[in-house]
């Protein structure tokens, strides 16, 4: 791992539940020694990516991210575009919808929408990273990613989020050809118990998979008619979002009309 990769890996340790991290804790979480961790944090702080709290050895994300996020949003209003599509998809299915984007080796939800059709609905959190092997979004991304990326993701020990999480790399690999053939992935209780989700991948201008759009519902509500409704609407709206973002589905990608 190079210096840049090490520095960026420190940034991934921050989350909504852990907005501040001390030097010793950062070293423990990262696996780097304290001297290396301090040097990387100092370099990140020089460019505003982290900042040290006054009278404290704790660090938090710095203001550089605000400027970069504003520039990115101005150039490509991703969240705005995604939110509009997700609300349409949520209205069409009556269920919770969300869009996530691949950032390095993790999948981050960027936008979501809720439906008022039911009193019980799946809830989302902005900063919750999605496990690639345990979610429909992650499986959709794996199915349409290069083999070397899949190998990289599945070579490390896979954690079980629930008793229903599949952690055997061979079983996960066996799912991918069918996902590619039909164009969508399914997860039942893999990330959260009693949640049934479908996901279709998103693609960029080079037809590379960059994320996914998913519909999540309680398993008790997932009957055959709802599955059909979700699958049809998910293809329609995800492909629409791919086009709005300037992307193209790869040759032979299923249309969703016949499955």
Q: Which residue is it, tokens 């840049």? A: 4
Tokens, residue 119: 């009193």
Would you mind telling me the total number of residues written for the chain in this entry? 259
Residue 53 to residue 145: CA distance in whole angstroms: 40
State residue 259's pLDDT score.
Answer: 39
Residue 234 to residue 211: CA distance in whole angstroms: 14
| 71: in domain | no
User: Could you read off the pLDDT of 114-153 as tens digits, one per residue?
Assistant: 999 998 899 886 557 889 999 999 999 999 999 999 999 9
CATH code assigned at 164: 3.30.450.40
Q: Are 227 and 136 in contact (CB under 8 A)?
A: no
Q: How far apart are the first and last CA of the chain?
A: 43
State residue 257's pLDDT score.
Answer: 53
Q: Are 37 and 58 in contact (CB under 8 A)?
A: no
Q: Examine the fold and report which residue of 20, 47, 66 is the final residue of a domain before the chain moves on.
A: 66
120 with 37, same domain: the answer is: no
Q: Which of 59, 194, 204, 191 is closest to 125 using CA atoms?
A: 191
Please report the sign of the dihedral spanned by the C-alpha atoms of residue 84, residue 85, residue 89, residue 95.
negative
Domain that holds residue 52: 3-66
197 with 226, same domain: the answer is: yes
Tokens, residue 121: 């609905």
84 with 174, same domain: the answer is: yes
State residue 69's pLDDT score.
Answer: 80
Task: Supply the pTM of this predicted model.
Answer: 0.76
CATH code assigned at 19: 1.10.10.10
Helix (H) or strand (E) holding 111: strand 106-113
Helix (H) or strand (E) holding 101: strand 96-103
CA distances (Å), 222 to each of 6, 54, 94, 165, 225, in order?
43, 51, 11, 19, 8
| 217: in domain | yes
Q: Is 66 exposed, middle or buried (0-12, 13-18, 19+ CB in 10 A)?
A: exposed
State residue 258's pLDDT score.
Answer: 41
Q: How many CB atoms are located within 10 Å of the residue 17 CB?
A: 8
- Bridge-based pairing of strands 185-188 and 195-203 is antiparallel
- Average pLDDT across the chain, whole number: 91
In the chain, the number of structural domains is 2
Q: Are 100 and 110 in contact (CB under 8 A)?
A: yes
Q: How many CB atoms are located within 10 Å of the residue 12 CB?
A: 15
State residue 44's pLDDT score.
Answer: 96
62 with 92, same domain: the answer is: no
Q: Which of 251, 213, 250, 183 is closest to 81 using CA atoms?
A: 213
pLDDT, averaged in runs of 10, over the chain (259 residues): 88 87 95 95 95 89 89 80 95 96 87 91 77 95 96 90 94 97 96 95 95 96 96 96 91 70
150 with 40, same domain: the answer is: no
């Amino acid at each position: 791992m190079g210096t840049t990769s090490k520095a960026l890996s420190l940034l991934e340790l921050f989350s909504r539940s852990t907005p501040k991290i001390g030097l010793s804790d950062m070293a423990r979480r990262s696996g780097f020694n304290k001297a290396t961790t301090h040097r990387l944090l100092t370099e990140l702080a020089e460019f505003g990516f982290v900042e040290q709290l006054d009278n404290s050895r704790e660090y938090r994300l710095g203001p550089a991210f605000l400027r970069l996020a504003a520039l990115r949003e101005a150039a490509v209003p991703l969240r705005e575009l995604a939110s509009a599509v997700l609300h349409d998809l949520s209205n069409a299915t009556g269920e919770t919808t969300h869009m996530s984007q691949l950032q390095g080796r993790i999948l981050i939800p960027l936008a979501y929408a809720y439906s008022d059709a039911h009193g019980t609905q799946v809830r989302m959190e902005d900063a919750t990273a999605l496990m690639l092997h345990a979610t429909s979004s992650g499986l959709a991304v794996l199915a349409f990613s290069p083999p070397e990326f899949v190998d990289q993701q599945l070579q490390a020990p896979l954690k079980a989020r629930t008793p229903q999480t599949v952690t055997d790399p061979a079983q996960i690999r066996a799912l991918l050809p069918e996902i590619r053939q039909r164009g969508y992935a399914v997860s039942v209780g893999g990330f959260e118990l009693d949640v049934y989700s479908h996901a279709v991948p998103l693609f960029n201008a080079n037809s590379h998979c960059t994320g996914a759009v998913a519909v999540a519902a309680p398993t008790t509500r997932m009957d055959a008619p709802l599955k059909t409704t979700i699958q049809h609407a998910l293809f329609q709206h995800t492909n629409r979002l791919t086009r709005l973002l300037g992307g193209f589905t790869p040759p032979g990608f299923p249309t969703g009309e016949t499955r």
